[in-house]
Amino acid sequence: MTANHVKRAFKYRFYPTDAQAAELLRTFGCVQKVYNMALAARSAAWTVRQERVSYNATSAMLTAWKRSEELAFLNEVSSVPLQQCLRHLQGAFTNFFARRARYPRFKSKRRSRASAEYTTSGFRFRGGVLTLAKMTELLDIRWSRPLPEDAKPSTATVSRDAAGRWYVSLLCDDPTVVPLPTEENAVGIDAGLDHLLTLSTGEKIANPRHERKDRARLAKAQRNLAKKAKGSANRARARLEVAKVYVRVADRRRDALHKITTRLVRENQTLVIEDLTVRSMVKNHSLARAISDAAWSQFRSMLEYKAAWYGRTVIVVDRWFPSSRLCSACGTLQDKMPLHVRTWTCDCGTTHDRDVNAAKNLLAAGRAVTACGAGVRPQRSSPGGQSAMKQEASRREP
């Protein structure tokens, strides 16, 4: 394997037989059970004895649990996904202690993602055919796109979404992901609600508003669900219809963001964006739905990992930077910029489109940071964050 190769997940839909579905559902349940028990044990050890429990200790606990009569059912499924969930828990605690994430939470049967990860000892992949441990039948996979030539998956993750669709994700080295030729272009990107993105070039990318387009369909499905008796088969079918609307919205949103981010990364060497406190901004109930539909966090995540793949640079400007109130022509800072003001004229005589001006200021700030070598990663929390959140959310209201 070449050191420069990128690890990339290739996700495919598959259609399990009844026996395979039953086995996978048992595995999902056991993974959730082991994860929650290990999390409870680690939390209790810290609360009572101020002791940090390692992955090796939880692995020994798993061995003891399997030997007990009460948890003997854990032996009925492959041991690989159970060990992997303990590794994931270890990673969650590592991120928590490094202050990169919240404290790990218990897995919920209803709300958590149903998945199981198999390493090379838990599956066999030969000639484009995948077989999982504890199964004799091959998975009926729809190979919607080819894997890299001579691909050797290091993990296979099986999952089932809320709409009942089954997926398998194969993690492989992808030699086709290489840095793109260097470009001279740099672009500032201002995120909003009226337009999803406004570029410093003056281009505005429309906000598809996928959730709004399916809102009537979703409301109808939710009303139908509310009428069904709890625990009934009819309610289960109605819940599935609601889930189908949600996944339709999510699929379309993700597809649109992939196309936008891929285009921006291909066309520009440097991309400058603004740090947005989306988690705080959605607390503004009048804008929460629109902000969630815009998926700014997902956009940033895609932009950053694609830039890393293809040798591009993403610069994140501090959230307190007054990009809307600053004249991109002369640098004059306006005292206030009410929400209804979409165009304004500076004292220097330059007339600005509010969003284009903000994007130009972001680009200038990014270039200044590159020139002087200052840090560009803003702090994740700052005093007065709540009032700033309201101002920031208001600035982006259409």
The per-residue pLDDT string of the chain (398 residues; one tens digit each, 9 = 90 and over) reads 444 678 999 999 999 999 999 999 999 999 999 999 999 999 999 888 888 889 999 999 999 999 999 999 999 999 999 999 999 999 999 999 999 999 999 999 888 889 999 999 999 998 889 999 999 889 999 999 999 988 899 999 999 999 999 999 999 999 989 999 998 999 999 998 889 999 999 999 999 999 999 999 999 999 999 999 998 999 999 999 999 999 999 999 999 999 999 999 999 999 999 988 887 888 878 888 888 989 999 999 999 999 999 999 999 998 888 888 888 888 888 888 776 778 888 878 888 888 899 999 999 988 887 766 554 444 333 333 333 333 433 333 33
**Active-site pick, 190, 211, 293, 392:** 190
Active site residue 190: yes
Between CA 367 and CA 186 the distance in angstroms is 9
With beta carbons less than 8 A apart as the criterion, state whether 93 and 104 touch.
Answer: yes
| Residue 194 appears among annotated catalytic residues | no
Of the residues 117, 211, 274, 293, only one is catalytic, namely 274
| Distance from C-alpha of 212 to C-alpha of 292, rounded to nearest angstrom | 11
Phi, psi dihedrals of residue 301, rounded to the nearest 5°: -60, -45
> CA 190, CA 54: separation in Å to the nearest integer?
43
CATH number for the domain running over 186-208+253-395: 3.30.420
* Contact between residue 269 and residue 375 where contact means Cβ atoms under 8 Å apart: no
Note the pLDDT of residue 252.
95
Q: Is 304 one of the annotated active-site residues of the chain?
A: no
Q: How many whole angstroms separate alpha carbon 313 and alpha carbon 392?
A: 25
User: Contact 92/107 with Cβ under 8 angstroms?
Assistant: no
Residue 11 gets which letter from DSSP?
E
What integer pLDDT is reported at residue 297 of this predicted model? 92
Q: Residue 367: what pLDDT?
A: 86
Inter-residue contact 179 to 191 (CB < 8 Å) = no
CA distance 362 to 343: 18
- Of 268, 267, 217, whose CA–CA distance to 243 is shortest? 217
Q: Are 126 and 145 contacting, i.e. CB atoms less than 8 angstroms apart?
A: no
Rg (CA), the chain: 25
Beta strand extents in the chain (DSSP E only): 6-14, 114-119, 123-126, 129-132, 141-142, 155-160, 166-174, 186-191, 195-199, 204-206, 270-274, 313-317, 343-345, 351-353
Query: What per-residue confidence (pLDDT) applies to 391?
Result: 40
The CATH 3.30.420 domain(s) of the chain lie at 186-208+253-395
Determine the 3-state secondary structure of 27 from DSSP: helix
What's the whole-model pTM score? 0.83
Structure confidence at residue 385 (pLDDT):
38
Residue among 23, 117, 293, 355 flagged as catalytic: 355
The one-character DSSP state at 193 is S
What separation, in Å, do the N-terminal and C-terminal C-alpha atoms of the chain show?
Answer: 50
Q: What is the rounded CA–CA span in Å between residue 366 and residue 351? A: 23
| Contacts of residue 65, Cβ cutoff 8 Å, sequence gap at least 6 | 34, 37, 71, 74
Closest CA to 12 of 174, 168, 173: 168
Helix (H) or strand (E) holding 245: helix 233-267
